[in-house]
Amino acid sequence: MNDWMIYAVGFVAQFIFASRIILQWLKSEKAKQLETPSAFWKLSLIAAIIFFIYGYLRKDFSIMLGQVIIYYVFIRNLQLQKEWKPTNILFKIVVIGFPLFAIFYGIFWANINFSLLFSQQEDNGIATWLMAIGVIGQIIYTGRFLYQWYYSEQEKESGLPTNFWILSAVGSAILIYYAVMREDPVLFAAHAGGSIIYIRNIYIGYKAKNKKSLSN
């Protein structure tokens, strides 16, 4: 597949990721506090599927790892919002079916050269040190959802706390560097643009917290 076609897949995923962030940001601005609409999680699931495919096409282990780590968290948040059961059945089939298809495809049909995921070949692989940076960035960036999951379970409701956005900003900074070194326009555009909203959400979160403290 041509590079421009692969990048197109990545940009579609990032467009959907960006849409969820913009939707969440606008709702938070309106409410003057951090909000999490159910559409945020539904768009996350769709984008994660497409971005996993992009990572596979790019032979980029860090991208694929990131989507695997957080996939269930998106579903769990819909459950906490009581939005999973009433969700369209076709959507559920796609969301549940894709991981199963990916596993069977990887085992029985895909011709995957796993050495390329960890190699130091300049033309086909990624230098080990660079992949390590990418993996660290992805762990922090996707780990924000593991933190968010823990937070939501403790609060018994789905939410995006301020620390979630701090982890987002830190992970993005690392992944911007990784994207530059990898010459990956998809990753760079996604994290460079998203960082602005992450910082704004941090401000909204602290401002709402201070306002709540003063009222008490």
| Two tokens, residue 191 | 């994290």
User: 39-53, 94-108, 118-132, 189-203: lowest mean pLDDT where?
Assistant: 118-132
Question: Assign residue 87 a region: left if phi > 0, alpha if psi is -120 to 50, beta otherwise?
Answer: beta
- With a cut of 80, say whether residue 6 has pLDDT above it: yes
- With a cut of 90, say whether residue 80 has pLDDT above it: yes
Encode pLDDT of 84-135 as tens digits. Answer: 999 999 999 999 999 888 878 766 666 655 555 555 444 545 677 888 898 8
Decide: helix, strand or coil at residue 63.
helix
- Residues in contact with 50: Cβ distance below 8 Å, sequence separation at least 6, in sequence order: 9, 12, 13, 16
Instruction: Measure the CA–CA gap between 186 and 140, rounded to whole angstroms.
Output: 19
What is the four-CA torsion angle of 110, 59, 169, 18, rounded to 10 degrees? Answer: -60
For residue 135, the model assigns a pLDDT of 85
- Taking CA atoms, 168 is separated from 20, 60, 68, 78, 147, in Å, by 14, 20, 17, 20, 11
For residue 190, the model assigns a pLDDT of 82
Most confident stretch, 58-62, 170-174, 189-193, 211-215: 170-174
| Two tokens, residue 204 | 């909204």
**Cα atoms in the 13 Å half-sphere on the side-chain side of 177:** 15
Element (H, E) at 161: none
Burial class of residue 146 (count of CB atoms within 10 Å of its CB; 0-12, 13-18, 19+): middle
- Residues in contact with 149: Cβ distance below 8 Å, sequence separation at least 6, in sequence order: 73, 76, 77
- Number of Cβ atoms within 10 Å of the Cβ of 44: 23
Average pLDDT over residues 180-202: 88
